[in-house]
Amino acid sequence: MAAMSEDDLIASFFAPLAGEGGLGLADDVARLALSENHELIVTTDGVVAGVHFFADDPPASIARKALRVNLSDLAAKGARPLGFLLTLALPETWTRDWLAAFAAALGEDARAYHCPLLGGDTVRTPGPLTIAITALGETPRGTMTARTTARVGDVVAVTGSVGDGALGLAVRHARHEAAPPAWIAAIGEEKAGALLQRYLEPLPRACMAEAVRGWASCAMDVSDGLVGDLRKLTAASGVSASVDLDLAPLSAAAAAALAADESLARQIFAGGDDYEILLTVAPEHYDALAAAARAAGCGLTPIGEITPVSEPFRVMWRGTPAAFGKGSFSHF
């Protein structure tokens, strides 16, 4: 790699991505003005090679995943994106071509989701490629949809489909195996490719932010697994839940995989990487929220209800109570 200073790197690859508040990346800070009577909503997520993605994944996919997992958090809070900060720790093996592809895809997503780059930091690391993004958004004052406000009697619902990301990770692993799982061959290359794409480049439900803020009583994104994230939501809200996973929305590819191997239920419902929105909504508001989801093109599916904390957390699958352990991915 030819010598390139940090200033040159920023000027070449990232200054063209900067929004107005980023001041051309010529300063050590960004400057933002919030809309009148709005609050700042902040989230941060890091992704690490070998943990959240494969080091040889396409740089464009790595860039999109790094930004989109943060946009997913903003969407679940009902927040409009304002911009993001990027910290990029590059290993010794980075190249101009890799960084150019990474920056181009990052810029495309920044424009598509109206979330410009505001600043950040670039460093070298002796370890794996590490990307940390802090995304900033805003909501009208007092309207953010929290994780702590589910109410007894609320409908539990989830956008889109679940399980694709976890199954896509299995497909990605199988590309390095001499004998991939039989279910991958059973569903065919087209469906396996669709699952892989959902793993490589998740789809944050940014188009649902306004509807979530307007109708949902409580929400979070599904990043670590549907069952486990629902446990987190109910614990934070001081309630319980009763859900039927037979009602959970599956894509055609995930449904085919499950039909081929029913043991995949654990990966589908507890594997993570969905980046859908798990929410609760008062029954009288469900139809309005579901209509908004249909209009946004992602759909909304009811899977159960919020119950009093005195009742057990109940998960049904195939007509019987099911146990999924922690029900989610954990780093520790």
Does residue 96 sit in the same domain as residue 183? no
Does residue 73 sit in the same domain as residue 113? yes
Does residue 159 sit in the same domain as residue 111? no
- Written as six digits, the tokens of 161 are 């489909």
268, 199 in Cβ contact below 8 A? no
Task: Enumerate the known binding-site residues.
Answer: 28, 43-45, 52, 73, 120-121, 147, 221, 223-224, 273, 329
Assigned domain for 306 exists: yes
- Written as six digits, the tokens of 218 are 């409580």
Half-sphere exposure of residue 89: CA atoms within 13 angstroms, side-chain side: 13
> By residue range, what is the domain housing residue 279?
155-321
Does residue 199 sit in the same domain as residue 76? no
Assigned domain for 328 exists: no
297, 218 in Cβ contact below 8 A? no
Domain of residue 64, CATH code: 3.30.1330.10
For the chain, the domain total comes to 2
Does residue 44 sit in the same domain as residue 171? no
Rounded CA separation 236/221 (Å): 14
Beta bridge partners of 156: 280, 304
Task: Enumerate the known binding-site residues for ATP.
Answer: 120-121, 147, 223
Task: Enumerate the known binding-site residues for Mg(2+).
Answer: 28, 43-45, 73, 121, 221, 224
pLDDT string in tens for the chain (332-residue length): 446 777 788 788 888 888 887 768 766 667 888 899 999 999 999 999 988 999 999 999 999 999 999 999 999 999 999 999 999 999 988 899 999 999 999 999 999 999 999 999 999 999 999 999 999 999 999 999 999 999 999 999 999 999 999 999 999 999 877 788 999 999 999 999 999 999 999 999 999 999 999 999 999 999 999 999 999 999 999 999 999 999 999 999 999 999 999 999 999 999 999 999 999 999 999 999 999 999 999 999 999 999 999 999 999 999 999 987 655 444 43
Instruction: Pick the last residue of a domain from 95, 114, 140.
Output: 140
Does residue 103 sit in the same domain as residue 197? no
Instruction: Pick the last residue of a domain from 92, 108, 140.
Output: 140
Rounded CA separation 243/132 (Å): 34
Give residue for tokens 């896509």.
168
Task: Enumerate the known binding-site residues for substrate.
Answer: 52, 273, 329
Assigned domain for 147 exists: no
260, 192 in Cβ contact below 8 A? no
Query: What's this model's pTM, rounded to 2 decimal places?
Result: 0.91
Assigned domain for 195 exists: yes
